[in-house]
Structure 1
Amino acid sequence: MKKLVILAIILLMQTAFAQTNRFVYQVTMKPDASNKNDIKTENAYLDISAEKSVFYSENRIKRDSVMQANRQSGGARGFNRDQMESLRTNINYSIEKDKKNQKIFYKDRLGRDQYSYEEDRPLDWKILQETTKIGEYKVQKAETDFAGRKWTAWFTTDLPYQDGPYKFSGLPGLVVKAEDAKGDYSFDLMKNYKISDFPALATFGNVVKVKRTDYVKQQEKFKTDPMSFMSQGGGGPRMGNRGGGNQNPAEMRKRMEERVKEEAKKNSNPIELK
């Protein structure tokens, strides 16, 4: 009987340790360089386990859920356009940190495929003596220059994680708040809770692994010639008879290019400037 009790305690401890912790951040962005009054705010998740962490948009997982439900019903329900519009996100990327190998992987979609690169620029933090309290956490100040922006972060050692939102990591604690010097981007920890496991993020098309510099080149190419990314091989959603009937390829190209250029204008102040 005693052995059974000990075994039960061990299993309970293993289950608790295996759980994933979700930290919810409010992300505030000014993505349009020509209109700094256009402020976007949405939530993002940082899911952390002992082996890895993943940072991604809350709206993304909600959209995936809606689309999955629609597929399971054979498309009979149809999409609620207002609902899908309300779940649009400015955080189209996801970021995975491999804790064992100390690597950061960035994933984003270009056209029909998902592009992935390993971050090759280490974050060089300067930890300052200044401390304060944010919510229930005692935090300490740190600064870094990364990808063309000067960042201030506040981290806490009250939680047993050396991690943070976006690509932020390498501090002796969890990042509770991070903001760039221009006030264009900020991440603020709102709450945290346990989840059973990492959710499966929908992936369209192929996963194309490239170097970061090549991804930047591909990103620029996509802005000028988006249709070339729609005609490449891969299993992603194809441009085609979405509305029924045959569509003029020239008209499709024109609409696609106009939409991508409009999106580029709205995102002319990216989080990474170089």
Structure 2
Amino acid sequence: MKKLGILATVLLMQTAFAQTNRFVYQVTMKPDASNKADVKTENAYLDISAEKSMFYSENRIKRDSVMKANFQSGGARGFNRDQMESLRSNINYSIEKDKKNQKILYKDRLGRDIYSYEEDRPLDWKILSETTKIGEYKVQKAETDFGGRKWTAWFTTDLPYQDGPYKFTGLPGLVVKAEDSEGDYSFDLMKNYKISDFPEMTTFGNIIKVKRSDYVKQQEKFKADPMSFVNSQRGGGISAPMRMGGVGNQNPADMRKRMEERVKEELKKNSNPIELK
């Protein structure tokens, strides 16, 4: 009986260790460079296990579920535009950190396909002596220049994680708050809880692995002429206009025009990206 008790304790400890910890961040953004008064706020998840972490929008999981159900029930014509509009997100990327190999993998959609690259710029943090308290956590200040922005982060060693939202990693603790010097983007830890495992991410389209520099080039091509970019892709995925709630039952010319206008409007509204270079 004693051996069984020890075995049960070991199994319980292994189960607890295997659990994934979810940290919920409130992300505040000013994505439109021509209208800084238009502030967007939404939640994002940082899911952490012993091997990796994932950062992505809360609406990503909800939207993927809706899209999957709609495709199964009737394809593009099954989309409910109002429902999709309610799940719109300014965080269309996902970021995976491979802890063993110290790699940061970034994924984002361009047109029909998902482009993936490995981050090749290390974050060079300057840890300062200044400390304070945010919520229940004692935090310490750190600064870095990354992606054309100057960032200030506050990290805590009260929790046993060396991670953070977005690409922020490399500090001796968990990032509780991060904000750029212009006040365009901020990440604030709201709460955390345990989940059984990482959620399954639905992928529409091809996953194309490229170098970061090639991703930037493809992104510029998409911005310059989104419809030509989409038409040049191999197909099989869901295009950006469809992802944003396009509807069927239109003649092809009108539908193309509406899609083009919609994509250009979206690009205008996202003219102040989190990374400027």
- Provide the TM-score with structure 1 as the length reference: 0.93
Q: How does 1:99-118 map to 2 (within 5 A)?
A: 99-118=99-118
Which residue of 2 is the match for residue 235 of structure 1? 236
What secondary structure is seen at the aligned counterpart in 1 of 2:275? Answer: coil
Which residue of 2 is the match for residue 256 of structure 1? 259
Taking the aligned partners of 1:261 and 1:132, their CA distance within structure 2 comes to 43
Q: How does 1:57-72 map to 2 (within 5 A)?
A: 57-71=57-71
Which residue of 1 is the match for residue 276 of structure 2? 273
Q: Which runs of 5+ in 1 are unaligned?
A: none
CA drift at 1:82? 2.6
Which residue of 2 is the match for residue 174 of structure 1? 174
Q: Percent identity?
A: 86
Taking the aligned partners of 1:207 and 1:186, their CA distance within structure 2 comes to 29
Task: Specify the code of the residue in structure 2 equivalent to 1:185.
Answer: Y
RMSD of aligned alpha carbons:
2.0
Q: How does 1:26-175 map to 2 (within 5 A)?
A: 26-71=26-71, 78-175=78-175
Task: Specify the code of the residue in structure 1 equivalent to 2:203.
Answer: T
The question of whether the paired residues in 2 share the 8 Å contact of 1:144 and 1:150 is answered with: yes
What secondary structure is seen at the aligned counterpart in 1 of 2:252? Answer: coil
Q: Which runs of 5+ in 2 are unaligned?
A: none
The question of whether the paired residues in 1 share the 8 Å contact of 2:113 and 2:238 is answered with: no
The question of whether the paired residues in 2 share the 8 Å contact of 1:107 and 1:117 is answered with: yes
Deviations 1:116-156 (A, max 9, x none): 00000000000000000000000000000001100000000
Taking the aligned partners of 2:167 and 2:238, their CA distance within structure 1 comes to 29
Single out whichever of 225-234 and 94-103 deviates more from structure 2: 225-234
What secondary structure is seen at the aligned counterpart in 2 of 1:264? Answer: helix
Taking the aligned partners of 2:190 and 2:55, their CA distance within structure 1 comes to 15
Task: Specify the code of the residue in structure 2 equivalent to 1:134.
Answer: I
Task: Specify the code of the residue in structure 1 equivalent to 2:135.
Answer: G
Taking the aligned partners of 2:234 and 2:78, their CA distance within structure 1 comes to 28
Which residue of 2 is the match for residue 205 of structure 1? 205
Deviations 1:56-80 (A, max 9, x none): 00011111122334445567x9544
What secondary structure is seen at the aligned counterpart in 2 of 1:140? Answer: strand
What secondary structure is seen at the aligned counterpart in 2 of 1:236? Answer: coil
CA drift at 1:33? 0.7
Taking the aligned partners of 2:112 and 2:83, their CA distance within structure 1 comes to 23
The question of whether the paired residues in 2 share the 8 Å contact of 1:226 and 1:256 is answered with: no
Which residue of 1 is the match for residue 3 of structure 2? 3
Taking the aligned partners of 1:227 and 1:178, their CA distance within structure 2 comes to 36
Task: Specify the code of the residue in structure 2 equivalent to 1:255.
Answer: R
Which residue of 1 is the match for residue 193 of structure 2? 193
What secondary structure is seen at the aligned counterpart in 2 of 1:262? Answer: helix
The question of whether the paired residues in 1 share the 8 Å contact of 2:81 and 2:247 is answered with: no
Taking the aligned partners of 1:245 and 1:35, their CA distance within structure 2 comes to 32
Taking the aligned partners of 1:261 and 1:65, their CA distance within structure 2 comes to 26
Single out whichever of 236-245 and 256-265 deviates more from structure 2: 236-245
Number of matched pairs = 271
Deviations 1:153-192 (A, max 9, x none): 0000000000000000000000000000000000000000
Which residue of 1 is the match for residue 21 of structure 2? 21
